[in-house]
Amino acid sequence: MSFEVTILGNSSASPTHSRHPSSQYVNICDHHLLIDCGEGTQMQLARYKIKKSKISQIFISHVHGDHILGLPGLLLSMNLMKREQPIHIFGPPELFKILDVFFKYSDTQFCFETHYHIVDPNKRSVVFENLFYKVIAFPLFHRVPTTGFLIEERSKLKKLNMEVCERLKIPFTFYNDIKMGKDYCTPEGKWIKNEELTFPAALPISYAYCSDTLFDERVIDAVRDADILYHEATFMHDRLDRAVYTMHTTAKQAGIVARQAGAKKLIVGHFSARYDDLEPILLEARSEFPNTEIAQEGKTFILE
Amino acid sequence: MSFEVTILGNSSASPTHSRHPSSQYVNICDHHLLIDCGEGTQMQLARYKIKKSKISQIFISHVHGDHILGLPGLLLSMNLMKREQPIHIFGPPELFKILDVFFKYSDTQFCFETHYHIVDPNKRSVVFENLFYKVIAFPLFHRVPTTGFLIEERSKLKKLNMEVCERLKIPFTFYNDIKMGKDYCTPEGKWIKNEELTFPAALPISYAYCSDTLFDERVIDAVRDADILYHEATFMHDRLDRAVYTMHTTAKQAGIVARQAGAKKLIVGHFSARYDDLEPILLEARSEFPNTEIAQEGKTFILE
């Protein structure tokens, strides 16, 4: 099952020529998602040869410009390409008010369905699920209502113990039920416990995205045991005052979140334009959590 | 007197990785203007090393996304840079409704003054003038209310005929009045006509910008005698039907506008993403108006 994340932008609010505002592309089981959509996202998709036509869901963390200003243009380009399949957009209520006003005055009629899904930024909730994955929104702590997103594979099927199944001559039509955890009843009426028929399923994989937030213990709880945690690290720790004032996190704090949450890997991003060299940010985060990487634009991280 | 135009974007609504939506930077007498501000304009300014801090006026032709979606982000970045001087934005009334909604929900307070100047898209009018130049908006013919802009040097001062002035012993404190066209009265009460004291002023230079429009004779009248005419050429003439349907112009028609308006030079831009190679567009426009150039991103055109 594919599960990978490509970084499209790693800049905070003030982009540079070489660093773009927040956006990430997620491919999970051939479902194609965007998380956040800062200015220039459609050009970044073109740069990294990701077809915008296949994106079906867009998750927006909050309505600051560096997370949404690429969205109207992306939707307009999809329209010009005569997209047919619907698109689903998940975000705070304010997002849809902004989109509505823009599309009203620019006199835009879409040739495809646009479904708006309001995310409540005040509580943890499953905002989407299908057979393959679910997306959970959870509160972050920023200057406007903001959520992070946790993308989790659905629980995997157990693996059949074929030696036992064949010895008991279980018809294969029961296999799916057994893989999903059900016990089996023989024609003679004897119940065989599922544990005797299967091996445990592999653990589901999860990706946590924390866009803009203060360092807060509730975030640690929200992203517990993520296989990969993306966390903003707008400033280095010598600018903690500035981070607190603007409700952002330092690289050191991002490392602490990853360590305390038991994440397997940390990716840091959303860098202030003041930092030309990202190496010191990486080293600071690694001082708390060694398995840290920079959210390098164009890089694809594979979850496995 | 400096008067130059730098192309920041030459793409129509659907940008590519290498071509960006409409925006142009104008430096006239050390006043720094933007015309249109498509998505990614602030990154293009950074790419071409143009300081956004010095831009004081932004002129927006219409509220289609490829002409405005870079504006909120640019203003936000100016705010983050703690800009102090005011900015003046000129555009149709709908522009300011869109900006207001975005800045309301993104909870933005500006640390500098933002002055909104509503441009009436239905009539030709002077929307700004100072000692050095004036900006005239004029109607274009597109799917939403749209104006072009004509940036004209103010009438230049006449050149003194120093031989006559010195022979008449005219005090130099009168020179400015004479340069501006006034007659001179000698201490004996004799009036000397201005024509005897001066040579004619050089003709003022003008730049005309026609963003998105149908081919229409009224546009030709509006840009008459422009030194440089920028005109959209979204399609080639074999797609005239598409150009008419979407209310755009073909390269051939742009050439006709330039020729019939008596422009000295034509720059064509706003190219559809369908054209990888821009050479055929250039040749088509040149078939009507030989002194045509492509609006190549990063290129500066000097008006002299």
Give the angle subtended at the CA of A175 by the CAs of A173 and A181, to the nearest 5°: 135
- Rounded to the nearest 10°, the torsion over CA B228, B233, B237, B239 is -170
Average pLDDT for B271-295: 97
Average pLDDT for A193-218: 94
Chain A residues with beta carbon closer than 8 angstroms to that of B17: 43, 46-47
Domain ranges of chain B: 3-156+202-302, 159-199
Average pLDDT for A6-28: 92
Size of interface A-B (CB pairs under 8 A): 110
% chain A with pLDDT above 70: 100
Q: CB-CB: which of B16, B46, B98 is closest to A46?
A: B16
At B124-145, the pLDDT tens digits run 999 999 989 999 999 999 999 9
At B66-95, the pLDDT tens digits run 999 999 999 999 999 999 999 999 999 999
The predicted pLDDT at position B155 comes to 78
At A230-248, the pLDDT tens digits run 999 999 999 999 999 999 9
Residue in chain B closest to A145 (alpha carbons) equals: B106
Tokens of A73: 């243009």
| Confidence label for B18 from pLDDT (cuts 50, 70 and 90) | confident
Mutate to test the interface with B, among A22, A47, A53, A69 (most CBs of B within 10 A): A69
Chain B residues with beta carbon closer than 8 angstroms to that of A105: 63, 94-95, 97-98, 144
Ramachandran assignment for B292, one of left (phi > 0), alpha (psi -120 to 50 degrees), beta (any other): beta
% chain B with pLDDT above 70: 100
The predicted pLDDT at position A191 comes to 94
Q: CB-CB: which of B43, B69, B102 is closest to A15?
A: B43
* Residue B1 scores a pLDDT above 80: no
The predicted pLDDT at position B156 comes to 79
Please give the DSSP secondary-structure letter assigned to residue A235: B
* Residue A202 scores a pLDDT above 80: yes
* Residue A17 scores a pLDDT above 80: no
Mutate to test the interface with B, among A14, A23, A248 (most CBs of B within 10 A): A14
CA-based nearest distance B70→chain A, Å: 7
Asked if A101 and B106 come within 8 Å (Cβ–Cβ), the reply is no
Backbone angles phi, psi at A221, to 5 degrees: -60, -40
Protein fold of A3-156+202-302: Metallo-beta-lactamase; Chain A (3.60.15)
Which residue would you say has higher pLDDT here, B26 or B29? B26
Asked if B70 and A17 come within 8 Å (Cβ–Cβ), the reply is no
| Confidence label for B234 from pLDDT (cuts 50, 70 and 90) | very high
| DSSP codes, A114-135 | EEEEE--TTS-EEEEE-SSEEE
Chain A residues with beta carbon closer than 8 angstroms to that of B20: 43
Closest CA to B96 of B77, B121, B115: B115
| Confidence label for A304 from pLDDT (cuts 50, 70 and 90) | confident
At B113-124, the pLDDT tens digits run 999 999 999 999
Asked if A97 and B105 come within 8 Å (Cβ–Cβ), the reply is yes
Residue in chain B closest to A45 (alpha carbons) equals: B17
ipTM here: 0.85
Q: What is the mean pLDDT of chain B?
A: 95
% chain B with pLDDT above 90: 92
Q: CB-CB: which of A21, A106, A144 is closest to B144?
A: A106
CA–CA separation, B205 vs B133, rounded Å? 10
CA–CA separation, B17 vs A48, rounded Å? 9
Q: CB-CB: which of A105, A107, A143 is closest to B98?
A: A105
The predicted pLDDT at position B9 comes to 97
* Residue B52 scores a pLDDT above 80: yes
At A56-113, the pLDDT tens digits run 999 999 999 999 999 999 999 999 999 999 999 999 999 999 999 999 999 999 999 9
The predicted pLDDT at position B303 comes to 95
The predicted pLDDT at position A14 comes to 83
CA–CA separation, B4 vs A81, rounded Å? 35
Average pLDDT for A135-148: 97
The predicted pLDDT at position A287 comes to 98
Single-letter code of the amino acid located at A85: Q
Q: Do residues B237 and B284 make contact, with C-beta atoms less than 8 angstroms apart?
A: yes
| Neighbouring C-beta atoms of residue B141, cutoff 10 Å | 14
